[in-house]
Copies of this chain bind each other. A is one copy, B any other.
Amino acid sequence: MTGYMALLKESGLKATFQRLHILEVVDKYGHIAIEDIYDKVIKIHPSLSVATIYKNIIIMVEKGVLVEVPIMGRKSKYELSKLDHIHLVCTQCGEVEDLACTKDINNILDFLTQEEKFKLTKQQINLYGTCSQCQSQKILQK
Contact = CB atoms under 8 A, between A and B. Distances in A.
Interface residues of A, number: 48
A71 interface: yes
Nearest to A122: B128
Contacts of A122: 84, 127-129
Interface in A64-87: 67-73, 76, 84, 86-87
Given A73-B68, A92-B134, A87 B125 contact: yes
A76 B137 CA distance: 25
Interface in A83-111: 84, 86-93, 95, 97, 99, 101, 105
14 contacts: A67-B72, A70-B72, A72-B128, A89-B128, A90-B129, A90-B133, A118-B131, A118-B132, A119-B130, A122-B127, A123-B126, A123-B128, A125-B125, A126-B126
Interface of A: 61, 67-73, 76, 84, 86-93, 95, 97, 99, 101, 105, 112, 115-138
